[in-house]
Structure 1
Amino acid sequence: MANDVTDKLAVLIDADNARPAIVDGLLAEVAKYGTAHVKRIYGDWTGPHLNGWKTALLDHSIQPIQQFAYTSGKNATDSAMIIDAMDLLYSNRFDGFCIVSSDSDFTRLASRIREAGLMVYGFGEQKTPKPFVSACDKFVYTEVLVGTVENEASEPPVQRTAHELRGDTKLVNLIRNAIDAGSDENGWASLGAIGSIINKRSPEFDSRNYGYSKLSGLIHGIGLFEVEERAIGNARHLFVRLRAKGK
């Protein structure tokens, strides 16, 4: 299913594994993929540890779902969230789900939703286990969503230098392989095709993780690729290819 801003999305937030500081950036990011027809957040609201969420819920019309911690060491919140997700899935009213958590317990849920042909957008911290990340169509690390919040420990990633980017072999190879896969006989690939291929191969890829707001800026920042702007119809498009040795 192609991304469409008219897609109907269900946003489910694990309050135990997400912070209020991300909420503005989170909902702005969700809006890129569709419209949030359901916004629910799960946790034990009788305890003080979720107090920071309360103002955010009112400001953004997010519905809190109460789930008592019946047994110490067992996460009843996860179970409630998974059950609700399956109920929403079977309602056939949605085009995709946004799962906000850094917990690997949602790996099978993400896989099951994708099996039904719906998009899954995951949101979690850098510590999120790889299986959950890979189970999503797109995964956004919430560090890039954090705004300026007093006493907030995390900050958005700092822009990396060309030397640092070139030293990231995994990143460089990911972009090179995407260019190769999407290129014409002259080695040029459109930026849109490159981004699409990268997203399919690496759901967690996001240029913002490297301090660049757009993929084009990241590619310019690495400095290993030729970039050309072309007029196609009434629009202008960027094309990229590997820079020839010596240039």
Structure 2
Amino acid sequence: MAIQSPATCGPASAPSKPRVALLVDGENLTQDLAGKIIQAALAEGEVVIRRVYGDAGRLPKWNAAPGFKMMHSGSGKNATDLLLTVEAMALMLGRQADVLCIAASDGDYTHLATYLREAGFRVVGLGESKASERLRKSFTRFRELAVSDVAKVASPTPPKPDSAAKSVLDKVIALIRDEGGNDGFSIVKLSGRMHALHQTKISTLPEKTWRNFLKSHEQLFECEPKGQDSKVRLRNAAR
């Protein structure tokens, strides 16, 4: 009677799941979406790396989010985008993961996703409905994160429209002054930063787009012509 070798004895081992690296742009997506982000990433395999990027001082909720490692990028221009991109390249080219999940709706990650996908990696995007078609198509797959009703809790006493508009205006001025400086602030990034810092969505305001909002206050803002790299600067009246 033939005796089976040890290699053929016993139950077959279960195939291992793909290793997933989950990198979140914490300045582009709020911590309210953390649960949905994790669930979407788990659909791709075993999430072995969970990192969130941004200025830790401005993101206390993400900094305290359980299971995530906070990667402080500082407050420099495009600091978060650059740090996330550098670490994504290092992780994937260093074969520390099989799948890369980028949680962001920011079109600046289009080149990163395209490069790694063409290099043979599975790159999955996790973002909101506002993500552009160009960004979506740069990924192997894009999973849309539906905003939970819990994240839409309104204040008990909503501010009057006039006071609400002035509050938004003050916040936009402060953002452009603090993060744009003399070089100006990217208009494309205004939506993500205002939502991340103040949970403000332009769709709730009469202007409906940030460019229209800025143009409605031309005495305060100077906008460059439309384009992916167009910027807005403060006029002297707003400084």
Count residues in correspondence. Answer: 141
Deviations along 1:122-143, one digit per CA (max 9) or x if unpaired, are 0111111211100111111212
2:92/2:98 contact within 8 Å kept: no
Cα deviation for residue 150 of structure 1 reads: 6.4
- 2:113 aligned with 1:69, yes or no? no
TM-score (structure 1 length as normaliser): 0.53
One-letter amino acid of the structure 2 residue matched with residue 68 of structure 1: G
Query: Aligned to 1:17, what secondary structure does the other structure show?
Result: coil
Residue in structure 1 matched with residue 34 of structure 2 by the alignment = 23
Q: Do the aligned residues in 2 keep the contact of 1:22 with 1:147 (CA within 8 Å)? A: no
Q: TM-score, normalised by structure 2?
A: 0.55
Tell me if structure 1 keeps the 8 A contact 2:62–2:70.
no
- Residue aligning to 1:91: 94
Q: What amino acid sits opposite 1:28 in the alignment? A: Q
Q: Secondary structure at the match of 1:143?
A: coil
Alpha-carbon distance between aligned partners in 2 of 1:90 and 1:107, rounded to the nearest angstrom: 18
One-letter code aligned to 1:13: V
Q: Which runs of 5+ in 1 are unaligned?
A: 154-247
Per-residue displacement from partner, 1:195-238 (whole Å, max 9, x unpaired)? xxxxxxxxxxxxxxxxxxxxxxxxxxxxxxxxxxxxxxxxxxxx
Contact 1:15 1:42 in 2 (8 A): yes
- Does the Cα contact within 8 Å between 1:9 and 1:97 map onto a contact in 2? yes
Give the counterpart letter for 1:31 in structure 2. Answer: L
Q: What is the Cα-based RMSD across aligned positions, in Å?
A: 2.1
Match of 2:54 among 37, 43, 46: 43
Deviations 1:158-191 (A, max 9, x none): xxxxxxxxxxxxxxxxxxxxxxxxxxxxxxxxxx
Q: In 2, are the aligned partners of 1:5 and 1:32 still within 8 Å (CA)?
A: no
Q: Which amino acid aligns with 2:93?
A: Y
Secondary structure in 2 matching 1:25 = helix
Q: Does 1:125 align with 2:134?
A: no
Counterpart Cα distance in 1 of 2:154 and 2:127: 16
Task: Give yes or no for contact 2:26–2:53 (8 Å, CA) kept in 1.
Answer: yes
- CA contact 2:22–2:47 (8 Å) conserved in 1: yes
Aligned to 2:82: 79
Gaps of 5+ in 2: 1-14, 156-239
